[in-house]
Amino acid sequence: MKVSSLHYYPVKGVRGVACERAAFDERGLVNDRRWLVTSAEGQSLTQRDHPVLAQVEAKVTSDGLRLSCNGAECDVALPPRASRRRIKVWRDEVDAMDAGDKASSWFSTLLDRPARLYFMDEEAERMTTAKWSPVSTVSFADMHPFLIATTESLQALNDSIIANGGEAVGMERFRPNIVIDGAEAWADDSWLVIKIGDYVFDVIIPCDRCVVTTKDQMTGESAGKEPLRTLAKIRKSADAKITGALFGWRCSPRGSGELKVGDKIEVLERRAEPWPIV
């Protein structure tokens, strides 16, 4: 098994960026989901309610961020420490830095509602829940620093979608950080600890999927009911702790380092039983 692709998402909810190699720390890939769009009141905004975010390209620069969407551009400087404010991402409150009125105006126009942009620096604290694993620091990502998925699982899913008369979907619908090639389909259901290159990762919980997977990740437009319709038939969680249709797993690293495409992957520990599926 090996890493076939790496992806980070500079602003939570915007278009992903593929890379050949990337440094990482306990929060995840460096530059992954360190920026967040919120309402004027500081509540996080995502593709679930604002699919136009899928059209936004974000490029990390030496002094901040360059945003672009349909010809409209905006250069955003790293905010000053004095701009800290408590904002909310899901149930978590985070001290993040306000990127200023220029970025706010750009996103407000794009989303057709008052919006602001925030940055998570190294001093900002957001912790994973102790419900699943020891508490550790995380970015604005959902629950844990990394999301992994396998190409073989995607192929198995697409085979089922096509058999039911639908059209195959791409991996971008699932917004993973690490895509793995060379595993058997759904093999990650049994992984507990894996080694990627020289680094060890704990495989924490499966990812229950939402409506974002049904949206075209270039346009944000709805692309129908797939893959959720088929996932609900073949990948429904049978464990009450996680409900919903599953694809991919959330992981946490043990330490920091660098990952690159082509890194070999080894399963160090397996679960006593694979995650149960209805």
Structural domains in the chain, CATH included, are 2-27+129-270 (2.40.33.20), 34-119 (no CATH)
In this predicted structure, what is the pLDDT of residue 132?
72
This prediction has a pTM of 0.96
Burial of 188: CB neighbours in 10 Å, binned 0-12, 13-18, 19+ = buried
Is the peptide bond between 227 and the residue preceding it cis, with omega within 30 degrees of 0? yes
Phi and psi based region of residue 198 (left: phi greater than 0; alpha: psi -120 to 50; beta: remaining): alpha
Q: For the chain, 278 residues long, give each residue's pLDDT as a single digit of tens.
A: 999 999 999 999 999 999 999 999 999 999 999 999 999 999 999 999 999 999 999 999 999 999 999 999 999 999 998 899 999 998 889 999 999 999 999 999 999 999 999 999 999 988 877 677 777 789 999 889 999 999 999 999 999 999 999 999 999 999 999 999 999 999 999 999 999 999 999 999 999 999 999 999 999 999 999 999 999 999 999 998 898 999 999 999 999 999 999 999 999 999 999 999 98
Q: What beta strand segments (E) does 40-145 contain? A: 57-61, 64-69, 72-77, 84-89, 92-98, 115-119
